[in-house]
Amino acid sequence: MRKFVRLFLYFSLWLALSLGAVLLNIINVDWSHNSFVKGIVVVIFLSVIQCSVLEITVQAIATLIMGRKCNEAEKAPADQLTVVLNYNLLATSKEHIDECFETMYKGYMDNLGPNVSAVLVSATNDEELKKYELEKRNAYKNIIYKELYNEGLAFSMRNYESIDPIRLNNVWQMYVHINPTVFIREHLHNICDKYVREFMVLHRVSRVLRKCGQYQDLMLLSEGNYEAYTYCDTEYYGKSARPYGQPLFHASDDVINIFERKFDYTLVLDADNGLPSGSVSELIQIAAAHPDRAIIQPAIKLRCKPDDTIFMHLQCIQQALYEPIANAVMAVFGQSRFFGKALIRNRAYIDNVIGTKDKLIERVLVDVLNHDAFVAAILKPLYVREVFLLEEPCYNYITWNIREMRRNRGEILLAMHSWPNTFGRIMRFLQRIIQGPSFNKTKVRTPSTLDFVSFYLAHLELRRMLMKPLLLLYIYIHCSVSLHYSYYSIIIVVFLVVVFPNLVTCSMKNYKGMLLETIVSISQFTPEAVVGTVRIFLSWMDHVVGTNESIPQRAVEDKIKLSNPFVSSLKHLWGYSLYALVQVIAVCLYFQTANPIVFMFWFVFLLPLYSGFTSLSSKLKRVGRPEEKNVNNIESVVIQLPNTSTERTKLMISTLTDISFKFNQCFSKCYKSKDVAEGGSKESI
């Protein structure tokens, strides 16, 4: 009942604000200078755009009402529940593998326990990189054995201060009753060997379902299925189907170790996801207290080092400001979206999403790019704000744009299957005409019927994506129609989209970061509307033409790190500057007077400069390719992170101040070819 009341108030407020916007639009239109038909069309367009924008306003108001903190999830004993930490990797370089293993090693050791295993599921194609992954696994196994053996010796001497507190409680305390001599002679080696064997690597045979297929196959292997039986039917999946009976993974001792283990939970992670110490135990205890929830979704927090790029620090500030709004929205609806990284109950997932050999379900689309929305809509995740995963932000604006492009493609595919008889039919018709014989018609075996809340949350990102062309249209409408208060209208929209949500989450601790993020967001209001519209068009074209392979974000990052950030940004974004220049000239010639659109489109013209500027390191050094770390000295590697948003803000402000004085010097130093700086060619994507 309380949930129904929350939903009623939420959508009633949205409706009331929308009706108010319609009324104000009717009053604002100058009916003496516009025809009746044109005025009605303008009112309809403006109202639709403003109603979509008001969703952000309603969420901010909900945050004010609900409070910035929500109730913590209940916990229960979970000593018997088993969990596998599933890291997923598609490596493009050895450096990528190094970083993944470092993250996996730290996450495993910081959450070590008798019921915890760590598995890297690799979809890497290159045979040399596959061998390198196995070499890194063996190297880290040696490190784990050495570290645990030294801790075991310290434990036998009751030197508890030198032992990690988590491992002391989860591992060593079970042997406190054993005589130290007997413990060292008869137990220590077996204990170390046991935990070493739980650090594994599996090489997947197929690429079906991409990342979603990686953890699905891991679950099936754990349940005792060595050969594939899912997504093998060509009637449903065409050329995307894999052979029935194909091995799920290449044979190895690690495959045998996983086979028929029947893990209770799988913690799905990306290669760069960090696990804070003790977070796995907290998630399992929350899962034990909520056996009706198949997914426990922890919060995601961005992390960056002091010398990371300005853009990365800006993303961290933005994420910290948005987090209270996300908490409030999840509390209002009583369930969460699935972020692709969460704790999943294996049995529930198999029973509801995958199915068995005798009764296949296969709810996730075989060509899915955004599997998160499908899984969330079916399993209704529980959002847990007090436990979080760490994630690195995008390196700069260009790589962020590539990531958003991939998400847009996923949202378009989701829309095709959500409205199969309208948008889906149109898209399939265009694909069939343009792709010709190469067109691969696919369909889902078991369509999902979603309730209202699940449908609303599943399309949350789709609505935000469509807001970009709507805002661009909103800007153009103001130039073509006579309004009594033309400036006020667009100022109010910017305030509701950018300023008001930040004010809601502002406090004495983060007000500096709020001011900085607000200024940047206002300056990027028009550029993001333009770039977002182009992203949607290109994503739509990819689906129509049948472009299945996207540019790996990591490969682009590696290229950009080795080139001048301003030159690289100009190569990627010069088209937007040209577009803005044409728009400014056209507006000036047409109106022959100052117009707000001229000012707004100058920010689009300066987009390459913004991208290059924010690609600079916060310590005024061009960030190059990460040096390969010596795996034998991994214990000495310490990453110092800003602990609070205040520290990150101070770092940003001091950096921007320093850059204002040293910009010319920095630019000249950055503008070096790869031949000089790194000993290679100066190519960029």
| Token reading at 93 | 């370089």
Q: How confident is the model at residue 121 (pLDDT cuts 50, 70, 90)?
A: very high
Query: Phi and psi (nearest 5°) for 271?
Result: -65, -25
Q: Which of 244, 267, 249, 246 is nearest to 259 (CA)?
A: 249
DSSP per-residue codes, 300-326: EEE---TTSBHHHHHHHHHHHHHHHHH
User: pLDDT at position 353, please?
Assistant: 92
Q: How confident is the model at residue 593 (pLDDT cuts 50, 70, 90)?
A: low
Which range has the worst mean pLDDT, 133-137, 293-297, 643-647, 670-674? 670-674
DSSP per-residue codes, 52-99: HHHHHHHHHHHHHHH-SS-PPPP----TT--EEEEEEE--SSHHHHHH
Residue 648 has pLDDT above 50, yes or no: no
Host H or E run for residue 200: strand 199-203
Contacts of 444 (CB under 8 A, 6+ apart): 236, 362, 363, 364, 365, 417
| 179-205 pLDDT tens trace | 999 999 999 999 999 999 999 999 999
Q: How confident is the model at residue 437 (pLDDT cuts 50, 70, 90)?
A: confident
User: pLDDT at position 679, please?
Assistant: 37
* Residue in the structure block whose two tokens are 């689309």: 365
For the beta carbon of residue 128, count every other beta carbon within 10 angstroms: 9
First to last CA, the chain: 55
Q: What average pLDDT does the structure give for the chain?
A: 85
Residue 634 has pLDDT above 60, yes or no: no
Delineate the domains of the chain, giving CATH numbers in brackets: 83-412 (3.90.550.10), 564-623+642-685 (no CATH)
Share of the chain above pLDDT 70, in %: 87
Residue 554 has pLDDT above 80, yes or no: no
Cα–Cα distance for residue pair 236/249, rounded to 1 Å: 23
Contacts of 613 (CB under 8 A, 6+ apart): 310, 565, 566, 659
| 31-40 pLDDT tens trace | 888 788 888 9
Strand order in the sheet with 343-345: 199-203, 116-122, 83-89, 265-270, 343-345, 295-302, 382-391
